[in-house]
Amino acid sequence: MIEGHFASNLPAELLIDRASIARRTDELGERLGELFGNGQPPVLVGVLKGSAMFLADLIRAMDIDVVVDFMSISSYSQSGVVRIVKDLDEDIRGRDVVIVEDIVDTGLSLNYLRKTLTQREPTSLRAVTLLDKTARRIIPVPLEFSAFEIPDVFVVGYGLDYQGLYRNAADILAVRDLARLANDPRLIVPQLFGLKNG
Ligand code: IMP
């Protein structure tokens, strides 16, 4: 568990630095590589868009060949109803499948993905997430691998966004005041990228 403490008055605080992300991603990639060994290449399913960075680093740490596919889903936060926006290109029947998530929060998205992909009869189905916000879970969904457990804070960076921004930050930052960010979505830009485009 990583503690989120806001020591400064800056709009966001470093929660996980790029070196720690790289270390954990390498560890998980190696474990996944060993798990699938010499068998048929597993299908790694990146959930767009947030998992793009994590997926890219994870598969390069896996010392085996893999197949990469993407899915995109959207959820209506009020009702919890989830729908597919972009489906897989691959037929996953009889394949080893790993869902790659950026963050598991309430668990609604992962629960929907697991149910949907299970119906397609893969040989095995596992999930790996970069971040796990266990405190916010509504549905107790199985999660085989997680890089970091984090507290109930809103985070941006390394794929995670606020209104489409901050995905390209190399570190993961915890937002200090979400209401302020809602008022000014580019609030963290100067802190992250200096005065170049703030
Ligand atoms: P769920 O609540 O587990 O279904 O997660 C739904 C989605 O909410 C995740 O895939 C993220 O896109 C988004 N999300 C949840 N927490 C955060 C956060 O702290 N920062 C950015 N996106 C988040």
Tens digit of each residue's pLDDT, the chain (198 residues): 465 556 678 899 999 999 999 999 999 999 999 999 888 999 999 999 999 999 999 999 999 999 999 999 997 767 778 899 999 999 999 999 999 999 999 999 999 999 999 999 999 999 999 999 999 999 999 999 999 999 999 999 999 999 999 999 999 999 999 999 999 999 999 998 875 544
102 lines ligand 1 (CB under 6 A): yes
11 lines ligand 1 (CB under 6 A): no
What's the CA angle centered on 3, arms 171 and 127, to 5 degrees? 65
CA of 153 to the centre of ligand 1 (A): 11
Q: Is 105 a catalytic residue?
A: yes
Residue 15 and residue 13: Cα distance in Å, rounded? 6
Residue 12 and residue 154: Cα distance in Å, rounded? 10
CA of 39 to the centre of ligand 1 (A): 33
What pTM does this model have?
0.94
Quickly list H helices, the chain. 18-36, 52-60, 108-118, 178-183, 189-193
